[in-house]
Structure 1
Amino acid sequence: MSHLDGGSPPDKRAMRRAFLGTRNELTTDDLRSAATALAERALELPELARARTVAAYVSVGAEPGTPALLDALRARGVRVLLPALLPDNDLEWGAYSGEGSLARVQHGGKTALLEPAGERLGPDAVTGADVVLLPGVAVDARGTRLGRGGGSYDRVLARLAAHGAHPFLVVLLYDAEVVERLPDEPHDRPVQAVVTPSAVHRFTEPRS
């Protein structure tokens, strides 16, 4: 793990910019090889092997690639749910049935997203997932996740808690994005694992 230390925690926005800046330096070959390794590593998780429904997402830009993983899950007979962004930054969900079931959607000045083109199942559909794959830019040794800053997945995690749903929470990252300590807030919900191209890290320590 990389080590972040010092007095007060670094500003989340500055940390986010630093991690995203490093991602943007990756080459096309880097992205392709990392995505292949990430899928192989994630598919070794016993929680994914047992899962009947997985809520996931379609990676964009330099995010750790998910398409190979989505197709591998479908090939196993897993029901895969993908998010669609709502105007208030909340997410609703639709079923993934292959690349042809996705539509590119532009949300204002934000990056265009690939979203399910078929029936929308509503925001609560995620509460039926056995595993939820979360995007992020870093995770620390306690399972604290640093997201992109839009708050969409904070809402997802709050919705899971409100429904008493306890899916296995996994973040997909690059190796250098697993760090010793991140700043956290009272509403942050820790994840159970992070998968990188070279390793799976599980978190069992209570947050303090």
Structure 2
Amino acid sequence: MAACTQAAKKALRSQLKKQIRSLTLEQKKRESLEVTQKLLSHKWYQQSCRIAVYLSMDDEVDTEPIVKHILASGRDCFVPRYVGDRMDMLKLYSLDDLSSLPLTKWNIKQPADDDDSRLDAYTAGGLDLVVMPGLGFTIEGDRLGRGKGYYDSYLSLCESRALMPKSIGLAFSAQMCKSIPMGPTDKKIDLVLYPQGTEPGTIENIKHQ
């Protein structure tokens, strides 16, 4: 069963990557703006003081405006650092701090591996909200990542210490799926935000509370 699930995930990842590549730059900008506006107006975001947000790649909803908004509003912003099979959420202090972060092999910024000076969200009391990337999502909160399991492991770790934050995934229209194969360690997320009128196959847009 596990082998079948992994094979189905691999096939879906390949399909989703093709669909995302088919989006024009203008469409990605437009959809990123719409999804960002949905996030910033959502009550979970507005009520959160400690927010973790991914630093986006070209094939993901752009999070730079979200990072700017968190910092400008005086809240604590945390960003991922991936080292081996572990992901930590470390504090980002300013836009200048963001611009000075080194690039990884994936061409995304993250705190340096040897930077031990930053506040770690997990050891410092947890997070209120995690804004998550993914390759694919369903409206029910099933999520397909890139295969490393970073966010599943992090959410499980938070849950084990009763520090479970709210989780919101951000998606382009091309990333919404009717269904996603889920394994025993895969974590559902609380909410997925995506452009109005999105049709993965054919689905109806849902209203988020």
Q: Tell me the TM-score normalised to structure 1 length.
A: 0.81
Deviation at 1:55, TM superposition (A): 0.9
Among 105, 109, 118, the alignment partner of 1:114 is: 109
Written as runs of structure 1 = structure 2, the 5 A alignment for 1:44-193 is 44-86=41-83, 88-102=84-98, 103-107=101-105, 111-116=106-111, 119-122=117-120, 124-125=122-123, 128-193=126-191
CA pair 196-84 structure 1, distance change in 2 beyond 3 A: same
- Equivalent pairs counted in the alignment come to 193
Among 10, 14, 20, the alignment partner of 1:17 is: 14
- Once the two structures are overlaid, the 10-residue window that deviates more, 73-82 or 55-64, is 73-82
Partner of 2:201: none
Q: Does 1:32 align with 2:29?
A: yes
The percentage of aligned residue pairs carrying the same residue is: 22
For 1:122 and 1:89, how far apart are their aligned partners in 2?
A: 17
CA pair 127-162 structure 1, distance change in 2 beyond 3 A: farther
The two structures, once aligned, show a CA RMSD in angstroms of 2.6
Amino acid in the other structure paired with 2:171: L
For 1:178 and 1:162, how far apart are their aligned partners in 2?
A: 29
Q: Tell me the TM-score normalised to structure 2 length.
A: 0.81
SS in 2 for 1:191: coil
For 1:140 and 1:29, how far apart are their aligned partners in 2?
A: 24
SS in 2 for 1:105: coil
**Contact preservation (8 Å) 2:103, 2:109:** yes
